[in-house]
Amino acid sequence: MHTVLSSRRGDVEEHAILLCNLLLGFRFEAYCVIGTTLAGDPHMWVATLERDSELNRVKVTFWESLTGSRYTHGGSDSASVHKYGKIGCVFNHESFYANVQSDDAVRACSFDLNNMSHWKAMDPAAIQEIRRRKHVPELSHVPLSTHMMEEVLEQSLRDLISKRRGLNGLATHWDEELSQLLSP
């Protein structure tokens, strides 16, 4: 995510992951959603879940990471204004759920992630194992002769400059004393 922030650009997936992490930091129950648009194109967006234990309901809000638009998921019997077509899976840093509902259309999707007939959860121990396996490659020390590299680089630059100037009919003369004065 550092590259997205430092370069101030990224694709829709990177923005969705960044937004999901931001919402998780604000203590939302947030998930990245992988699915399709109504046109059938692959897409990723963010969903937040607000659980109402008294009414035994889950309020779902969809967040479009590139535009900042939010949409409330109304369930199967309400018309939606969002562009989302189907849902394949949802995930965050702690969990991964595959959609196993008979109808994977967003309009008909239930977001009761604990319902095993609707969502297949990945084993949390497997997720923790993946998180522990951060492989850091070993960096080996290769001794370098910086003086030799400097000489080769300087000669290469001189050759390129002389060649370019020669193509333009210009002669190039190198002043060794001046080059020594300009050295650090």
Asked if the structure places residue 73 within a domain, the reply is: yes
Domain tally, the chain: 2
Position 79 scores a pLDDT of: 47
Residues 145-157 pLDDT 10s: 777 888 888 889 9
Name the CA dihedral angle for 24, 14, 80, 77, rounded to a multiple of 10 degrees.
Answer: -60
Residues 65-101 pLDDT 10s: 989 899 988 754 444 578 899 999 999 999 999 999 9
CA distance 118 to 110: 7
Task: Look at strands 84-91 and 70-73 and give their pairing.
Answer: unpaired
| Mean per-residue pLDDT, 6-30 | 90
Asked if the structure places residue 16 within a domain, the reply is: yes
Asked if the structure places residue 129 within a domain, the reply is: no
Whether 75 and 116 map to the same domain: the answer is yes
Q: Domain residues for 14? A: 2-122
Q: Does the pTM of the predicted model rise above 0.75?
A: no
Asked if the structure places residue 107 within a domain, the reply is: yes
Whether 117 and 167 map to the same domain: the answer is no
Whether 93 and 159 map to the same domain: the answer is no
**Between 2 and 153, whose confidence is greater?**
153
Q: By three-state DSSP, how is residue 106 classified?
A: helix
